[in-house]
Amino acid sequence: MKKEHVILVFPHPDDEAFFCSGTVMDFVSRGVPVTYVCLTMGELGRGLGGANRQTLPELRLKEFKKSCSILGITDIRLWGYLDKTIEFEEPERILQRLLRLMEEVQPTLVITFYPGHSRHPDHDATGELVVKAVRRLPEELRPTVYGSAIFKKFIEHVGAADVANDVTPYLDRKTASIKAYPSQFMKYIKSIDAGHMEGVPDYRIERFWILE
């Protein structure tokens, strides 16, 4: 039986906290290795968190490392693409990097974004690239791919999630992971402390749709 290994592929620091941190912590608690590929530093995000355009990348890197520490992720791969430009990158170059990574770690599961339904071009482009990369692998080597997306009417568009993980046992640490990004989530902090996130389905449940 193939040994479990999970890869996260997201375009921005903070994506892991918001979308799959509880699920990741469950894997880590069971000794499953997790590799995190972050394509950009989110340096063009609107939230500055007291930084400016010159210092924001440094701040977001600091936030990112803090969140990963909370989640127990130690294998971090920063690929250095420019924020908000993933859809304009030469896709073959990214596909080849993804394929080399998958050959290296031989994942059993990849978590990314559900392409076409994520309200952000970087999110959609990242999900599309992951699916294309996995489809190039021989069938016997293909990992399962979980797509994530959270917005109010998502389920109306694509149907109920294939996987719904109750991450209540990890909720305190998930909250800490989200709070590690004040530059992005400051507006949510009060609602998080009250046990919910404004405009977001119950964040105690992490939902995934199987793409492959």
pLDDT of residue 23: 98
Q: What is the predicted pLDDT for the residue at 200?
A: 61
Q: What distance lies between CA 95 and its chain's CA centroid?
A: 18
pTM tops 0.75, yes or no? yes
Tell me the torsion sign for CA atoms 206, 114, 106, 102: negative
CB atoms within 10 A of CB 65: 14
User: What pLDDT is stored for residue 22 in this prediction?
Assistant: 98
- Residues with Cβ within 8 Å of residue 6, at least 6 apart in sequence: 24, 27, 32, 33, 34, 35, 107, 108, 109, 110, 111
Three-class secondary structure assignment of 114-167: CCCCCCCHHHHHHHHHHHHHHHHCCHHHCCEEEEECCCCCHHHHHCCCCEEEEC
Query: Is residue 186's pLDDT more than 80?
Result: no
Over the chain, what is the mean pLDDT? 89
Q: How confident is the model at residue 109 (pLDDT cuts 50, 70, 90)?
A: very high
Write down the CATH number for the domain with range 6-210.
3.40.50.10320
Q: Which of 4, 12, 61 is nearest to 37 (CA)?
A: 12
3-state class of 77 per DSSP? strand
The pLDDT of residue 150 is above 70: no
Confidence band of 149 (pLDDT split at 50, 70, 90) = confident
Supply the pLDDT for residue 57.
Answer: 85
In terms of pLDDT, which residue wins out, 45 or 30?
30
CB 19 within 8 A of CB 8: no
State what percent of residues in the chain have pLDDT above 90: 69
Q: Is the pLDDT of residue 207 over 70?
A: yes
Residue 107, pLDDT > 90, answer: yes
pLDDT in tens, 41-99: 988 766 656 667 777 888 899 999 999 999 999 999 999 999 999 999 999 999 999 99
pLDDT of residue 21: 97
The per-residue pLDDT for range 164-182, each reduced to its tens digit, is 999 999 999 999 999 999 8
Q: What is the mean pLDDT of residues 139-152?
A: 88
Cβ 114 vs Cβ 147: under 8 Å:
yes
Q: Which of 125, 139, 137 is nearest to 94 (CA)?
A: 125
In this structure, are residues 106 and 2 in contact, taking their beta carbons and an 8 Å threshold?
yes
